[in-house]
Amino acid sequence: MSFGSFDRGGAQNHTNAEINMVPLIDVMLVLLVIFLITAPLLTHSISVQLPQASAQPVENEKKSLDLAVTPEGLLFLDNEPVELEDLTAVLKPFSLETPQPEIRIRADQETRYEVLAQVMSRAKASGLTRLGFVTRPDATASSALAETTTP
């Protein structure tokens, strides 16, 4: 498109090579409004009558065994004293349960690693496969977390 000038000079007749963006923006906004109005109408919902069931939800209680280890190497299975030599025989009946219970070991920080290794080895020998350690959160980490989350 060429635009002329109303200048009487006449010596500077040149064409304007700029694209007029206003009509393009208008068309784009009209299309946007059309799509915003028609998009919710395009979603098809299928009406399905679902069957009613009167089943009770299955509650699966996960059983766990607490195994406490003192710094002296004494073992307590659910607050009952157990000898290290008898641990495999005591844990064997629990390995036959379905699902298997988890053994949660609560060991003192002064407990020797050798004792813990023997406990884990005997738990595996009894057939139990789920093992966890109970720890206490670090006081400095929890206080730092509390400081960052406090407004």
Reported confidence tier of residue 8, pLDDT bands at 50, 70, 90:
low
Taking a C-beta distance cutoff of 8 angstroms, is the pair 76, 68 a contact?
A: yes
Domains of the chain: 64-137 (3.30.420.270)
Read off the pLDDT of residues 32-47 as tens digits, 9 standing for 90 and up. Answer: 999 998 887 777 666 6
Q: Quick check: 151 pLDDT over 70?
A: no
Q: Give buried/exposed letters for 35-53 (b at 16+ CB in 10 A, else e).
A: eeeeeeeeeeeeeeeeeee
- Count CA within 13 A, CB hemisphere, residue 141: 3
Q: Give buried/exposed letters for 113-128 (b at 16+ CB in 10 A, else e).
A: eebeebbeebbeebeb
Read off the pLDDT of residues 65-117 as tens digits, 9 standing for 90 and up. Answer: 899 999 888 999 988 999 999 999 999 998 888 888 899 989 888 888 899 89
Q: Quick check: 144 pLDDT over 60?
A: no
* Mean residue pLDDT across the chain: 80
